[in-house]
Amino acid sequence: MSAPAPIPPVTVGVFDSGVGGLSVLRELQRQLPLAHLVYVADSGHAPYGERSTGYVIERSTHIARFLLQRGARVLVVACNTATAAAAQVLRDAYPDTPIVGVEPGLKPAVALTRNRRIGVLATEGTLASAKFQALLARLRERAAFHLQPCPGLAHAIESGNPEAPEVLALVERYCAPLRAHDVDTVVLGCTHYPFVAAAIQRAMGPQVQLVDTAQAVARHTVTQAQKMLDSLPAVPEPAARPRHVEAHTSGAVDHLARITARWLDFPVQVQAWA
């Protein structure tokens, strides 16, 4: 049986308050090899977790408008804070555009756990959000969830070196309580955390399974892109099309360029953006 044909070229817009969403961008590039991916790192206005809901909505709306002007047919809100604050606002504003948000992968973790003990590593804001608490309430009877807030970890990862001593020290601090609870599955509840997955795996041990939110988000984006394309006239697929990935940042261009070169295995065109 032949493999399914790849989804034809489509522009997908992705944004985060910083570099964490690059974990989602990486998975999208793997699952949508013909896509034109446009990423926005709003580093000049980060962290969103310390901003008001109104501010996050304002920035998210500004970024979404830019991505749509760049030709995006699907938007991915690769930030837990922005998803909770602004995803529905964006869906109401752009009802014809598929908008994919992120949430910690509790459901996949329930399917994977063997001893029904699941650890969740996430930001304090995510764990306290109504969206997360509602998801948790629906699954509490199926497993014991041990919630571990990780203040400072996402910010430390933003420095660009996942193996920096301060990053590893935070990973150990936040994994120790999960080891004490004997969890066998750990949810990476922030888009930054896949970039320190190796350190988390070392801290937890090889017997513990990690659930990467970025993979689930990418799969859902592929589904939404296919549905959107199915509603349009057929587009001939080119015989060969170079993968085109561009990134825009409201922060330092050289910083994002260094991080994309270190963390991603494909070229990214990095540009300044306001």
- Residue positions annotated with a catalytic role: 79, 190
Q: Is 191 annotated as a binding residue?
A: yes
Q: Is 81 annotated as a binding residue?
A: yes
Could you tell me how far CA 5 lies from the centroid of its own chain? 25
Q: Is 17 annotated as a binding residue?
A: yes
Q: Is 181 annotated as a binding residue?
A: no
Burial label, 191 (beta-carbon count in 10 A; 0-12, 13-18, 19+): buried
Q: Is 39 annotated as a binding residue?
A: no
Q: Is 49 annotated as a binding residue?
A: yes
Question: Which residues sit in the known binding site for substrate?
Answer: 16-17, 48-49, 80-81, 191-192
Question: Which residues sit in the known binding site?
Answer: 16-17, 48-49, 80-81, 191-192
